[in-house]
Amino acid sequence: MANSLLEINPKVQKALEKNFPLVALESSLIVHGLPHPQNLETARALERIVREEGAIPATIAIIGGKIRVGLSGRELEYLATAKGVRKVSRRDIPIAVAQGLDGATTVAATMYIAHLAGIRIMATGGIGGVHRTHPFDVSADLPELAKTPVAVVCSGAKSILDLVRTCEWLETYGVPVIGYRASEFPAFYSRSSGLEVDIRVDTPEEAAEIIRAKWELGLEGGVLIVVPIPEEAELPRQVAEQAIGRALAAAEEQGIKGRNLTPFLLNEIARITEGRSLTANIALLKNNALVAARIARALALWNRGVRRNQLLSDGYSTGLAELTTER
């Protein structure tokens, strides 16, 4: 059994057994997405936000070839400063496990491992998609969304990508795109892209109902919930596009491709915008974690047969409070 290879944190395991709300978090943003010390500060903040919203965080990574579902504080610290950590997508999981490597999981790998563990909701910044300059380069995140039943909360695809082609790909492969309090597909740093979502919802319960309906119908794959960056943190679209254009030109000139392209572009955009894009990235990550926790909570209540506006039992509330109290 593949899940026999998972090492699940005791709190996460108890939450799974009790059907308490859980939110999976990727580790690639810690190693490859944010600089130190912001990476560690953000990783801790995301877990804290999930707990404060009444769910249990499960940051996923591979350490020494062991797939960890729910990292300890010490493991978060290790990843934040470790050198030579492999960026792990779905194809890399067996390599990292067999070779005893450290690996930071992307959206695709985090989705797959979360599904193995039984976690149905994940939060991230932005998914991968179809690249602008190389439309044949399609992120592994997209086919993972088409086949793995995990709902991903994000701020759309990273705006360094071709958003039109990415949305078309999602439509073709049957991935519902839900706008959370938004009628447009967000452009990561910016709140709108001019592209419509499949449906707008305004509450966690509405999102949970769509997720539950898809899986009860036996439809394959995940659901994408897109959340605009908070207004106060938004990077104006013109500023973001100018920075992206310059970063893409620099990558082309230096011959940077493949798995190295996205980290390079994000770092270059942060340099060009004098850190404004980094501030925006952290803000949307925190907001997405908050929304994911609320949806996970609503979905868990549905699964337990508890409907909205009904009081939770003392046992449920007490048990959940024990797991969401940080020690």
Q: For residue 321, is it within any domain?
A: no
Q: For residue 77, is it within any domain?
A: yes
Looking at residue 212, which CATH number applies to its domain?
3.40.1790.10
Q: What is the pLDDT of residue 261?
A: 79
Is the pLDDT assigned to residue 56 strictly greater than 70?
yes
Q: What is the pLDDT of residue 311?
A: 43
Q: For residue 193, is it within any domain?
A: yes
Q: For residue 91, is it within any domain?
A: yes
Q: What is the pLDDT of residue 309?
A: 45
Give per-residue pLDDT as tens, 247-301. Answer: 989 988 998 887 777 788 888 999 999 999 999 999 999 999 999 999 999 999 8
Q: What percent of the chain has pLDDT over 70?
A: 94
Active centre residues (catalytic): 26, 158
Q: What is the pLDDT of residue 54?
A: 95
Q: For residue 325, is it within any domain?
A: no
Range of the domain at 110: 2-309
Is the pLDDT assigned to residue 326 strictly greater than 90?
no
Q: For residue 316, is it within any domain?
A: no
3-state secondary structure the chain: CHHHHEEECHHHHHHHHHCCCEEEECCHHHHHHCCCCHHHHHHHHHHHHHHHCCCEEEEEEEECCEEEECCCHHHHHHHHHCCCCEEECHHHHHHHHHHCCCEEECHHHHHHHHHHHCCCEEECCCECCEECCCCCCECCHHHHHHHCCCEEEECCECCCECHHHHHHHHHHCCCCEEEECCCECCECCECCCCCECCEEECCHHHHHHHHHHHHHCCCCCCEEEECCCCHHHCCCHHHHHHHHHHHHHHHHHHCCCHHHHHHHHHHHHHHHCCCHHHHHHHHHHHHHHHHHHHHHHHHHHHHCCCCCCCCCCHHHHHHHHHHHCCC
Q: For residue 89, is it within any domain?
A: yes
Q: What is the pLDDT of residue 51?
A: 97
Confidence class of residue 310 from pLDDT cuts 50, 70 and 90?
Answer: very low
Domains of the chain: total: 1
Q: For residue 38, is it within any domain?
A: yes
Give per-residue pLDDT as tens, 57-113. Answer: 999 999 999 999 999 999 999 999 999 999 999 999 999 999 999 999 999 999 999
